[in-house]
């Protein structure tokens, strides 16, 4: 095992499933029900399910998919929105609402590109709709930004999108977070297997992340793609103005963190191939060690940061980013010495202050802000709800679903 070469490591890594950071099931799910209609759209697809008793599109609720790599998968969408937590899609249909699930040909493509898919779905829904019920349009995670931009752009162009309610579910309005240690590791193993790095460097990821690095030795900053996206959003007014704006967050509003401590070991290499690797949670201050990197024959490198907040433990929707990486490496451990220990599995992914658009996640004070105590005009949203505890990013709970269902016209 001590004689493993980079070529052998690369072959094994590339033959295994890719390390991809995402919430919920990724590869296996029970089949979704057959849709009543399937709409091919430029750059994507919409799957239509009529509400109970409806013979056509009467009361449409358009729901856009979030971020991942590759095309949207109907089975995985249905699993996440209807089977893993509260059966939101079933309940919408039981109440006579038609569900329109919007998917993309490539989930990691630019938000601006996938906003065209959402725009086409809005046009099709208005063309197919029977009667005068206005649309409900929104999305989960990135899908909330996709639809936010699509509706705002339609208004900017003077077009009537016929939408009465916009909603976002744990969407990173002021930025999402992947720990710098994970980003650095992804780029460090790029020459062995580039898929993890490709996901971090994809257009959508760069637009979503509050701080990003393209190479392991880079200093964290807002990606130029993020800056350009925010400029485009501002050009169309930042938010749609016609519909009522709602947001749901999978983090609490009392400022309670998720218990992840700053500056502690999250993934520690034990096998010979990764001995010396150490990925840590983010801590405040200057010249903070966040990662030691060594894979196969490469000498150990260090990654240090400065001026960043202790964001991994902040209130918000969580992602098992450290755990996903550790599980994948341990799958390879028996033959290649990639064994790791994994003291910390999850981290904050979408801070609560981002999901309800009240602050950027730029400091400890902003991240741990007691949102419940803020005046209503602190957010551009008309109304929002926060979960009673920190929970998995975009987890569909009865608590949040009930709030949304009660606010639909």
Q: Is residue 27 part of a domain?
A: no
Q: Are residues 204 and 82 in the same domain?
A: no
Q: Cα angle at 379 between 220 and 103, to 5 degrees?
A: 65
Q: How far is CA 335 from the centre of its chain?
A: 33
CA 150-103-355 angle, 5° bins? 55
79 and 139 housed in the same domain: yes
Residues 266, 327 within the same domain: yes
What residue has token string 């959402």? 118
Residues 81 and 144 in one domain: yes
The CATH number covering residue 367 comes to 3.40.50.1820
Q: Residue 26 has what pLDDT?
A: 56
Kindly state whether residue 317 falls inside one of the protein's structural domains. yes
d(CA 295, CA 272): 9
Does residue 1 lie within any of the structural domains?
A: no
The answer to whether residues 170 and 252 touch, using CB atoms and an 8 Å cutoff, is no
Last residue of a domain, one of 335, 350, 365: 350
**Number of domains within the chain:** 2
Q: Give the whole-angstrom CA distance, residue 208 versus residue 210.
A: 7
**Residue 262 within a domain:** yes
Q: Is residue 62 part of a domain?
A: yes
Whether residue 74 is contained in a domain is answered as yes
Specify whether 211 is located in the same domain as 319. yes
pLDDT for the residue 1: 42
Largest CA distance in the chain: 71
203 shares its domain with 240: no
Do 346 and 365 have their domain in common?
no
My answer on whether 272 and 191 are in the same domain is: yes
Are residues 169 and 281 located together in one domain of the fold?
no
**Domain extent for 375:** 37-174+225-252+353-406
Domain ends where: 333, 350, 367? 350
What is the rounded distance in angstroms from the CA atom of residue 110 to the CA atom of residue 131?
34
Does one domain contain both 121 and 235?
A: yes
* pLDDT for res 23: 74
**Residue 32 within any structural domain of the chain:** no
Q: Mean pLDDT of successive 10-residue segments in the chain (409 residues)?
A: 75 85 72 97 98 97 97 96 95 98 98 98 97 96 98 98 98 98 97 95 98 97 98 98 98 97 97 94 96 91 96 98 95 83 98 97 97 92 97 98 97
Residue 277 lies in a domain: yes
Residues 92 and 134 placed together within one structural domain of the fold:
yes
Asked if residue 271 and residue 196 are part of one domain, the reply reads yes
- Among 302, 320, 350, give the residue marking a domain's end: 350
């Amino acid at each position: 095992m001590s004689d493993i070469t980079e070529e052998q490591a690369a072959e094994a890594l590339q033959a295994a499933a890719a390390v991809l950071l995402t919430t919920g099931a990724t590869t296996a799910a029970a089949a979704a029900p057959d849709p009543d209609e399937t709409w091919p759209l430029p750059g994507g697809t919409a799957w239509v399910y009529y509400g109970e008793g409806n013979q056509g599109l009467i009361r449409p609720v358009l729901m856009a998919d979030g971020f991942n790599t590759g095309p949207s998968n109907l089975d995985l969408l249905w699993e996440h929105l209807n089977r893993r937590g509260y059966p939101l899609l079933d309940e919408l249909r039981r109440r006579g609402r038609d569900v329109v699930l919007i998917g993309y040909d490539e989930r990691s493509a630019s938000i601006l590109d996938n906003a065209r898919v959402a725009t086409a779905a809005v046009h099709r829904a208005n063309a197919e709709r029977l009667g005068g019920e206005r649309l409900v349009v929104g999305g989960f995670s990135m899908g909330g930004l996709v639809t936010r931009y699509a509706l705002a752009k339609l208004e900017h162009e003077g077009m009537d999108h016929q939408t009465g309610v916009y909603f976002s579910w744990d969407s990173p309005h002021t930025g999402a977070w992947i720990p710098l240690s994970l980003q650095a590791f992804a780029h460090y193993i790029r020459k062995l297997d580039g898929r993890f790095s490709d996901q971090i460097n994809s257009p959508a990821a760069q637009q979503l992340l509050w701080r990003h690095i393209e190479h392991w030795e880079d200093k964290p900053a807002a990606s130029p793609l993020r800056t350009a996206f925010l400029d485009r959003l501002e050009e169309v007014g930042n938010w749609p103005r016609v519909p009522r704006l709602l947001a749901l967050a999978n983090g609490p509003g009392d400022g309670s963190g998720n218990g992840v401590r700053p500056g502690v070991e999250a993934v520690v290499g034990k096998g010979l191939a990764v001995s010396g690797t150490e990925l840590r949670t983010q801590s405040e201050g200057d010249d903070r060690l966040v990662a030691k990197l060594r894979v196969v024959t490469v000498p150990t490198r260090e990654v240090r940061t400065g001026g960043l907040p202790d964001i991994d433990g902040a209130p918000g929707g969580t992602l098992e980013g450290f755990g996903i990486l550790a599980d994948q490496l341990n799958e390879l451990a028996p033959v290649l010495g990639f064994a790791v220990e994994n003291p910390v599995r999850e981290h904050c992914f979408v801070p609560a202050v981002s999901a309800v658009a009240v602050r950027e996640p730029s400091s400890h004070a902003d991240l741990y802000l007691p949102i419940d105590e803020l005046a209503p005009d602190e957010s551009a949203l008309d109304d929002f709800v926060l979960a009673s505890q920190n929970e998995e990013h975009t987890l569909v709970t009865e608590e949040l679903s009930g709030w949304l269902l009660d606010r639909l016209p």
